[in-house]
């Protein structure tokens, strides 16, 4: 099932996407019975209280960087103010010389959890979506930590919807810039799978409904520039498309 958040009839709604048609949730009273996806504007499917991301979680990415496999997940945060939805512009900030794409599989948490075991973790997953961990690489290197480089407004494109029926263990994950494939890997190359990540992160902090756990990027991250079209594609979910625009 694909869950969408969208603007239709000049109002914001949530719905279920089947084919090209959006229906309301069963039992919900809304002002629409069915809308075509071409009649609405899709929004980011969720606005979480926090986005928890994982660094260095693909074996081929670790090999690319010549780094050892980490003993535990390396986690960091992005603010929810960085989120944009499909079709919205990634703003290229003034004062940075390199902005990179990073294709990632994002996990959407279903309920409030703390200290969940890996055996129980998937019971607390609402679904999965595409995520682009946009990063000001030169700022990351200058600051020698990640917060500023990854937290600019628009640096968290997410969508286009949440897929609730998906096995995350072996999916292709790809990124494209202006139609050219840049990253091409599979989630079977994860160092830490989704259950292990949820166990580790929920052992550190409480996760709330709608919170995002983004699972790391494969090798071959690279730069984007104003005017570029960036696409993140994940098997079983679809494509998240955004353009890059110079910040005014």
Q: What is the pLDDT of residue 62?
A: 81
Domain shared by 31 and 125, yes or no: no
137 and 229, same structural domain?
A: yes
Q: Which two tokens stand for residue 235?
A: 């098997």
**Confidence at residue 11, expressed as pLDDT on a 0 to 100 scale:** 86
pLDDT for 29 equals 56
- pLDDT value of residue 34: 79
pLDDT of res. 32: 67
pLDDT tens for residues 32-75?
Answer: 677 899 989 999 999 999 999 999 999 988 888 788 889 999 99
Q: Provide the CATH number for the domain around residue 34.
A: 2.30.30
Q: Do 26 and 118 belong together in one domain?
A: no
The verdict on 1 and 58 lying in the same domain is: no
Rg (CA), the chain: 18
Minimum mean pLDDT among 7-16, 85-94, 112-121, 221-230: which range?
7-16
For residue 248, the model assigns a pLDDT of: 83
| Helices vs. strands in the chain: H and E counts, helices first | 5, 20
Q: List Cβ<8 Å contacts ≥24 apart for 9-12.
A: 12/43
Looking at the structure of the chain, the number of domains it has is: 2
- Parallel/antiparallel/unpaired status of strands 2-8 and 41-42: antiparallel
Q: What percent of the chain stands above pLDDT 70? A: 97
d(Cα 166, Cα 70) in Å, to the nearest integer? 27
Domain co-membership, 2 together with 98: no
- Whether residues 30 and 52 fall in one domain: no
On average, the pLDDT of the chain sits at 94
231 in Cβ contact with 240 (< 8 Å): yes
Indicate if 30 and 97 belong to the same structural domain.
no
Residues 132 and 196 occupy one common structural domain: yes
Is 200 in the same domain as 111?
A: yes
The reported pLDDT for the residue numbered 134 is 98
CATH number, domain at 67?
3.90.850.10
Both 50 and 29 in a single domain?
no
Q: Are residues 12 and 81 in the same domain?
A: no
Q: pLDDT (tens digit, 9 = 90+) per residue, 11-44?
A: 888 999 999 999 887 655 566 677 899 989 999 9
The 10s digit of each residue's pLDDT in 113-162 is 999 999 999 999 999 999 999 999 999 999 988 999 999 999 999 999 99
If asked whether residues 16 and 61 sit together in one domain, one would say no
Quote the domain boundaries for residue 38: 1-42
Query: Alpha-carbon distance 51 to 133, whole Å?
Result: 10
162 and 45 Cβ atoms separated by less than 8 Å = yes
């Amino acid at each position: 099932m694909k869950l969408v958040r969208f603007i239709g009839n000049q109002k914001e709604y949530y719905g279920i996407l089947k084919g090209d048609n959006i229906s309301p949730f069963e039992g919900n009273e809304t002002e629409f019975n069915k809308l075509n996806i071409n009649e609405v504007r899709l929004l980011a499917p969720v606005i979480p209280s926090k986005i928890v991301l994982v660094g260095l979680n693909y074996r081929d990415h670790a090999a690319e960087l010549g780094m050892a496999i980490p003993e535990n997940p390396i986690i960091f945060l992005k603010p929810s103010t960085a989120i944009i939805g499909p079709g919205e512009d990634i703003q290229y900030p003034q004062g940075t010389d390199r902005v990179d794409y990073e294709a990632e599989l994002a996990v959407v948490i279903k309920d409030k959890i703390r200290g969940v075991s890996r055996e129980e973790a998937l019971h607390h997953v609402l679904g999965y979506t595409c995520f682009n961990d946009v990063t000001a690489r030169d700022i990351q290197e200058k600051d020698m930590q990640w917060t500023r480089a990854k937290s600019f407004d628009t640096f968290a494109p997410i969508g286009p919807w949440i897929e609730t029926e998906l096995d995350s263990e072996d999916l292709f994950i790809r990124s494209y810039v202006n139609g050219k494939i840049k990253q091409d890997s599979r989630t079977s190359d994860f160092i830490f799978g989704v259950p292990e990540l949820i166990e580790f992160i929920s052992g550190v902090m409480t996760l709330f409904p709608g919170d995002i756990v983004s699972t790391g990027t494969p090798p071959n991250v690279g730069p984007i520039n104003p005017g570029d079209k960036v696409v993140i594609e994940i098997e079983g979910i679809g494509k998240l498309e955004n353009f890059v625009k110079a910040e005014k």
